[in-house]
């Protein structure tokens, strides 16, 4: 399959000036991966590991202090490869919503509280397809909303009249109205409870099945990834440290951090004691030398403090950035 | 001001309340809270907590989980137990005492010492401009314990596995989320409470540190005989730490019993739905069928019959007419006419 999104040596730092000295918060630090067409790619990691920043850069939403320090992003559009970080704002606007679309974090609060949902749909369609007839646009959005299983009444409601889960589903409907090829979803189910979360995941999967598009979903909840993703990238301290198909991650995690993540997941029906990873994640402005996980890693050896490990291929499709991956794997058994 | 405080401390020093022979730590009888939405006469009523009966034994400390989706009334119930919200009707006894009848300041302070809260977000619970130790010493002063305040603070910090050098003299941003939440727990422990109310204590903590806080709750129950009411919507962590669980839906406790029974063999259709909705963390077994989403929250609160009837796959006409009674089946209470 063809890669629809290509990320190469991407570096994005927050440039923080403190006492006249530049300090860099390395939120995205040399990230490389490809996402193929029709794939659901999950990005997992804990808060402050840079996963939301990565999504922002991929959607070219970077504003100072966030600066792209190097690398490139390529969208494989019908009109050839395009780098959203380089093209002009007019061209970017053409791509947005039509080709790529973004469901932001806390998307319950992104709807304009003073206008009806119907008008918000109309605004989106008019902004991206100039000269569309208003009646036609409303008919189109009504069809879209009902095809997603949302009640028709939402179109005439104001956002405050809807529950949190409903607002989230309306935002997803809004983001997909123009049938984008790539959808970036940043924590779409966080702050929703389990039943509503299931409804939202159901909706996203339904859309992906209909449109055969690519979904890049960012969340810290491994359960959501297990439910949705085809492939998962684990992020730690601004880097992707492991990429593998979902089953492989859950069965044969190689990086010690991934192993902690998977092992500490509580399950109903399992009361065996579970341990957290020791220590706390590093601050992104003062990363430890060598591998960023070395202060917390039980397998760390001398090499780990020297150079930063690169992503290397273990199996087809399974990449890991760890010098001691083999030992860590054996240590588990 | 100073005089007033000194006077208060003095009254606190006189230990007012002897232990009671009654075996219950906490008992609620038909506890109900009604909120009025809109104006007093024309507004609609919302029963946030609907005749809840709970009983926690004193001699056997336990972790009791209140679970349910947002808007199920679990936080309101916690606030009532903490004395932050007044209930509309019913009765609540703590160690055999009716808490609405506590009149003097001394008695009210006693209750505050006995029941302590732990909140969801440790970053919001602490003022970022204040040193963390201020909270610890303030609690130690207010709790009016006789002994050395410094010793009390140190004991509490040791109990949660923190070194005093880690915490004293630091501001909230200098501590990690897990450390900060443990400091919040240490603050609650200074008054040597018998009941802790933890409202979503781990939902803001990173996945890799979450288990350490949960394990600590378990130790607290076993070593220090503290009972804990753990409020969450995460059934997986609830199963991991708790002894008993109560499932709340629209203000009612629909199923209550030992966690192994309720979560492994759920009887109420709502408990089944909740359990099915947890992502399995197992990519081999994904959800097959689709579920029906609720669109009518306020309507459900006001319905006469079973609140779950609109979404229940097994609902009949009878369910919509009459509120189901608690039935005792297989070691747990179920509010459903099917049993």
Contact B236/A265, CB-based, under 8 Å?
yes
| Calpha distance A240→B253 (Å, rounded) | 44
- Which of B211, B234, B285 should we substitute to test contact with A (largest number of A Cβ atoms within 10 Å)? B211
Contact A273/B215, CB-based, under 8 Å?
yes
Chain mean position to CA A328: 27
> Which residue of B263, B276, B293 is in closest CB contact with A199?
B293
Chain B residues within 8 Å of chain A (Cβ atoms): 69-71, 176-179, 206-212, 214-215, 233-237, 239-240, 263-264, 273-284, 286-287, 290-291, 293-295, 297
Highest mean pLDDT among A102-111, B42-51, B88-97: B88-97
Contacts B212 to A, Cβ<8 Å: 275-276
pLDDT at B20: 43
Q: Are A191 and B69 in contact (CB under 8 A)?
A: no
Q: B251 to chain A nearest CA, in Å?
A: 16
pLDDT at B299: 58
Contact B235/A194, CB-based, under 8 Å?
yes
Q: Are B116 and B191 in contact (CB under 8 A)?
A: yes
What mean pLDDT do residues A195-216 have?
88
Q: Which residue of A has its CA nearest to B213?
A: A276
Mean pLDDT of the residues in chain B: 82
Based on C-alpha coordinates, what's the Rg of chain A?
21
Q: B66 to chain A nearest CA, in Å?
A: 14
Q: Count chain A–chain B contacts defined by CB atoms under 8 A.
A: 131
pLDDT at A332: 47
Chain mean position to CA B237: 14
Contact A264/B70, CB-based, under 8 Å?
no
| Calpha distance B57→B197 (Å, rounded) | 15
Q: Which residue of A has its CA nearest to B243?
A: A271
**pLDDT tens digits along B84-113:** 888 999 999 998 888 888 888 888 888 888
Distances (CA, A) of B136 to B157, B173, B178, B190, B198: 9, 16, 17, 8, 18
What mean pLDDT do residues B238-249 have?
92
pLDDT at B306: 85
Contacts A266 to B, Cβ<8 Å: 211, 214, 234, 236-237, 239-240
**Which 3 state secondary structure label does DSSP give A282?**
coil
pLDDT at B318: 85
In sequence order, which residues have a C-beta less than 8 Å from that of residue B70 and are 6 or more positions away? A164, A192, A193, A196, B233
Q: Using pLDDT thresholds of 50, 70 and 90, give the confidence band for residue B66.
A: very high
Domains of chain B: 2-242 (3.40.50.300)
Q: Which residue of A has its CA nearest to B288?
A: A202
Distances (CA, A) of B262 to A194, B53, B227: 17, 17, 20
Nearest to B227 by CA among B253, B188, B264, B257: B188
Q: Using pLDDT thresholds of 50, 70 and 90, give the confidence band for residue A169.
A: confident
What mean pLDDT do residues B248-259 have?
91
pLDDT at A246: 94
Strands B97-98 and A312-315: unpaired
For residue B301, is it left (φ>0), alpha (ψ between -120 and 50) or beta?
A: alpha
What mean pLDDT do residues A215-241 have?
92
Contact B281/A197, CB-based, under 8 Å?
no
Percent of chain A whose pLDDT exceeds 90: 31
3-state secondary structure B235-272: HHHHHHHCCEEEEEECCEEEEEEEHHHHHHCCCCHHHH
Q: Using pLDDT thresholds of 50, 70 and 90, give the confidence band for residue B268.
A: very high
> DSSP letters of A53-69?
HHHHHHTT---TTEEEE
Percent of chain B whose pLDDT exceeds 70: 87
Residue B151 CB coordination number (10 Å): 11
| Calpha distance B208→A262 (Å, rounded) | 9
- Positive/negative CA dihedral, B92, B299, A138, B292: positive
3-state secondary structure B93-112: EECCEEHHHCCCHHHHHHHH
pLDDT at B162 over 60: yes
Mean pLDDT of the residues in chain A: 87
Percent of chain B whose pLDDT exceeds 90: 18
More confidently predicted of B162 and A12? A12
Contact B208/A266, CB-based, under 8 Å?
no
Q: B259 to chain A nearest CA, in Å?
A: 9
pLDDT at A100 over 90: yes
- Which of B212, B242, B269, B293 should we substitute to test contact with A (largest number of A Cβ atoms within 10 Å)? B293
pLDDT at B2 over 60: no
| Calpha distance B72→A288 (Å, rounded) | 45
Q: B307 to chain A nearest CA, in Å?
A: 16
pLDDT at B223 over 80: yes
Contacts B178 to A, Cβ<8 Å: 276, 280
Q: Are A71 and A259 in contact (CB under 8 A)?
A: no
pLDDT at A285: 81
pLDDT at B10: 44
Q: Using pLDDT thresholds of 50, 70 and 90, give the confidence band for residue B259.
A: very high
pLDDT at B11 over 50: no
Quote ipTM for the complex: 0.74
Nearest to A68 by CA among A117, A14, A126, A137: A14
Q: A9 to chain B nearest CA, in Å?
A: 27
**Which 3 state secondary structure label does DSSP give A183?**
strand
Nearest to A225 by CA among A207, A248, A241: A248
pLDDT at B41 over 80: no
Q: B335 to chain A nearest CA, in Å?
A: 20
| Calpha distance A285→A288 (Å, rounded) | 10
**pLDDT tens digits along B164-220:** 888 888 888 888 777 888 889 889 988 889 999 998 888 777 776 788 888 889 988
Q: B316 to chain A nearest CA, in Å?
A: 22
Least confident of A278-287, B14-23, B228-237, B269-278: B14-23
| Calpha distance B287→A224 (Å, rounded) | 11
pLDDT at A6 over 90: yes
Place of tokens 């009888």: B29
| Calpha distance A209→A225 (Å, rounded) | 17
**pLDDT tens digits along A276-301:** 778 777 888 888 888 999 888 888 88
Largest interatomic CA distance in chain B: 68
pLDDT at A248: 92
């Amino acid at each position: 399959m063809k890669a629809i999104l290509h990320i190469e040596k991407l570096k994005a730092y927050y440039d923080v000036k403190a006492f006249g000295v530049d300090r860099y918060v390395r939120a995205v630090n040399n990230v490389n991966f490809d996402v193929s067409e029709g794939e659901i790619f999950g990005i997992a990691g804990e808060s402050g590991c840079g996963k939301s920043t990565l999504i922002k850069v991929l959607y070219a939403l970077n504003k100072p202090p966030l600066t792209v320090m190097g690398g490139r992003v390529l969208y494989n559009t019908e009109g050839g490869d395009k780098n959203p970080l380089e093209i002009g704002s007019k061209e970017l606007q053409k791509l947005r919503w039509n080709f790529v679309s973004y469901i932001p974090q806390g998307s319950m609060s992104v709807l304009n509280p003073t206008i009806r949902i119907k008008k918000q749909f109309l605004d989106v369609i008019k902004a991206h397809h100039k000269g569309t007839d208003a009646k036609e646009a409303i008919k189109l959005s009504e069809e879209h909303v009902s095809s997603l299983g949302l009640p028709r009444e939402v179109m005439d409601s104001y956002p405050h009249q809807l529950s949190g889960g409903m607002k989230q589903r309306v935002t997803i409907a809004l983001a997909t109205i123009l049938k984008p090829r790539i959808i970036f979803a940043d924590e779409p189910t966080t702050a929703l409870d389990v039943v509503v979360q299931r409804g939202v995941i159901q909706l996203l999967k339904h859309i992906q099945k209909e449109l055969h598009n690519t979904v890049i979903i960012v969340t810290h909840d491994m359960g959501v990834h297990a439910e949705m993703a085809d492939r998962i990238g684990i992020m730690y301290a601004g880097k992707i440290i492991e990429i593998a198909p979902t089953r492989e991650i859950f069965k044969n995690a190689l990086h010690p951090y991934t192993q902690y993540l998977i092992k500490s997941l509580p399950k109903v029906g399992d009361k065996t004691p579970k341990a957290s990873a020791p220590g706390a994640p590093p601050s992104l402005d003062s990363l430890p030398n060598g591998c960023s996980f070395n202060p917390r890693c039980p397998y760390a050896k001398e090499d780990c403090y020297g150079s930063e490990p690169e992503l290397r291929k273990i199996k087809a499709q399974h990449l890991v950035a760890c010098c001691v991956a083999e030992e860590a794997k054996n240590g588990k058994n | 001001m100073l005089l007033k405080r000194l006077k208060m401390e003095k009254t606190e020093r006189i230990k007012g309340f002897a232990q009671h022979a009654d075996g219950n730590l906490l008992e609620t009888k038909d506890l109900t809270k009604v909120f009025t939405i809109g104006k007093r006469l024309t507004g609609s009523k919302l029963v946030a907590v609907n005749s809840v009966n709970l009983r926690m034994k004193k001699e056997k400390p336990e972790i009791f989980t209140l679970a349910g989706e947002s808007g199920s009334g679990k936080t309101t119930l916690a606030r009532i137990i903490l004395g932050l919200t007044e209930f509309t009707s019913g009765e609540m006894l703590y160690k055999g005492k009716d808490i609405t009848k506590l009149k003097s300041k001394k008695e009210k302070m006693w209750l505050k010492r006995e029941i302590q809260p732990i909140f969801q977000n440790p970053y919001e619970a602490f003022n970022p401009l204040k040193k963390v130790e201020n909270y610890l010493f303030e609690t130690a002063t207010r709790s009016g314990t006789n002994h050395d305040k410094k010793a009390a603070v140190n004991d509490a910090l040791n109990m949660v596995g923190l070194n005093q050098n880690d915490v004293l003299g630091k501001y909230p941003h200098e501590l990690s989320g897990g450390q900060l939440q443990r400091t919040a727990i240490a603050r609650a422990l200074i008054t040597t409470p018998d009941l802790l109310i933890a409202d979503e204590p781990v939902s803001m903590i990173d996945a890799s540190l979450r288990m350490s806080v949960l394990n600590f709750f378990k130790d607290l129950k076993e070593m220090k005989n503290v009972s804990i009411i753990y409020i969450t919507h995460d059934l997986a962590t609830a199963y991991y730490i708790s002894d008993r669980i109560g499932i709340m839906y629209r203000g009612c406790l629909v199923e209550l019993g030992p966690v192994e029974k309720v979560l492994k063999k759920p009887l109420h259709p709502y408990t089944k739905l909740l359990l099915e909705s947890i992502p399995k963390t197992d990519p081999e077994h994904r959800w097959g069928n689709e579920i029906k989403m609720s669109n009518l929250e306020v309507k459900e609160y006001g319905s006469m019959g079973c609140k779950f009837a609109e979404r229940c796959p097994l609902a009949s006409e009878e369910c919509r007419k009459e509120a189901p009674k608690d039935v005792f089946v297989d070691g747990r209470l179920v509010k459903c006419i099917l049993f």
